Amino acid sequence: MKFADLHLHTQFSDGTFTPEELVLHAQKAGLACIALTDHDTVEGCARAAAACAAVKMEFIPGSELTAEQADIEVHVLGYFLDTGNKTLLDRIAQFQTVRQQRIHEMVAALNKAGVPLRVEAVFALANCKSPGRPHVARALVKEKLIGSLDEAFERFLKKGRPAWVPKTKMSALESVELIHQAGGLAVMAHPGLNRSDEIIPALVDAGLDGIECFHTKHSTVMSERYLVIAEAHHLLVTGGSDCHGFSKNKPLIGTVKLPYAHVENLKAARQGRHRVSK
Ligand code: AMP
Ligand code: FE
Ligand code: FE
Ligand code: ZN
C-alpha cells in the first residue's frame, strides 16, 4: 500500500523543520507522497519539491490559507497550486504583512501585561514571511519567560487572553477562488477543530473541492462523520498529520497515513477541471 501525508508545515511558516528535514522524515515514515501546506505562503515549495525529486517522492505544492466564514476562522488547504501565480502571491503577501505586524502587536500586549519579551527575540526564531503565535510562544519559552508552549497559549495567546490579537482574514469564498485561479483544488482543513459543520454547505456553494477527513486531532468517530459529509456533498477526501515538527519527541509526519487512492482522486479531479476550463 502507498500512503500520503497532505498537511505539513516547515520553517517557512510555524513548523520547525526545513523542507529538506521534512522530506527526510517523510522518507523514514515510508510515505510515497507529501504536500507542503505552510500557512499563507508557498515559499517552501520549491525546496521541498527539489528534496522530494532527489529521493523520487511525489510532491504536491500547497498552502493553508487563513480565511473566515460567518465570523468563524476556517483554514482552506490549496493543492497543486501554481506557486508562481501572481494573483496568489500578491494576495498572500498582504496577509504575510498582517502576520508580521501582528507579532509587534502581540509583543506590545505581552509587555503591557508585564512580560518583558522583545520583538527581536521572536523574529530571531521566526525567520520567515509568515510568522504566527507559535513563534511568540517559542520565544517566551526560549527566553525563560514561561514554562511551556501550552502555558504560553493558555495564559496569553489563545482567543480572549491578554496577548491575543485577531488577524484580518480573507473570506472563505475568496480563498476558494484564489486557489482555483492558481490551478489548485480547495479543501477545508480539520473541520473537527472548527466544530461548526453548519458552515460547510456555504463552502460547498463557494466551490469547495474537498474536506480533510483524517487529521491528527480527529477522533475515529469524527473522521467517519466527515466521510459521510464528503459523500453527501460529493467532496474529495484528504488527510494529513498537520506536522509542525517533533511532537512528544517524535516527528508527527506520517502518523496520519492517507491511502494513495485519495491522491489519485485529487489528480483526476484536477485534470477534469483543466479539461472543462479549456
Ligand atoms: P496563528 O495563525 O498565528 O493564529 O497561529 C495558529 C497556529 O498556532 C496553529 O496553526 C497551530 O500551529 C498553533 N496553535 C494554535 N493553538 C495552539 C495551542 N493551544 N497550543 C499550541 N499550538 C497552538
Ligand atoms: Fe500552524
Ligand atoms: Fe490549520
Ligand atoms: Zn496546519
Cα dihedral sign, 247-250-253-254: negative
Query: How many angstroms separate the CA atoms of 145 and 148, rounded?
Result: 9
Distance of CA 274 to the CA centre of its chain: 25
The pLDDT-based confidence of 276 (bands split at 50, 70, 90) is low
Query: How many angstroms separate the CA atoms of 92 and 44, rounded?
Result: 14
Residues having C-beta closer than 5 Å to ion ligand 2: 14
- If you measure from the C-alpha of residue 190 to the centroid of ligand 3, how many angstroms do you get, rounded to a whole number? 7
Mean model confidence pLDDT for the chain: 96
Q: Rounded mean pLDDT of 165-185?
A: 97
- Residue 58: φ, ψ to 5°: -75, 140
Q: Is the pLDDT of residue 111 over 80?
A: yes
Of ligand 1's listed atoms, the one at least distance from the Cα of 99 is 3
Say what the pLDDT of residue 195 is: 84
- Are 121 and 143 in contact by the 8 Å Cβ rule? The answer is yes
Q: Is the pLDDT of residue 278 over 50?
A: no
- 25 CB within 6 A, ligand 1: no
Taking CA atoms, 199 is separated from 45, 74, 202, 217, in Å, by 30, 9, 6, 19
Query: How many angstroms separate the CA atoms of 144 and 175, rounded?
Result: 38
Q: For the segment 48-69, what is each residue's pLDDT rounded down to a tens digit? A: 999 999 999 999 999 999 999 9
- For the stretch 174-204, what's the b/e string if a residue is b when 16 or more beta carbons lie within 10 angstroms of its beta carbon? bbbbbbbebbbbbbbbbbbbbeeeebbeebb
Residue 248: CB atoms within 10 Å: 5
Q: For the segment 118-135, what is each residue's pLDDT rounded down to a tens digit? A: 999 999 999 999 999 999
CA dihedral 251, 29, 218, 212 (to 10 degrees): 120
Of ligand 1's listed atoms, the one at least distance from the Cα of 75 is 10
Of ligand 1's listed atoms, the one at least distance from the Cα of 9 is 12
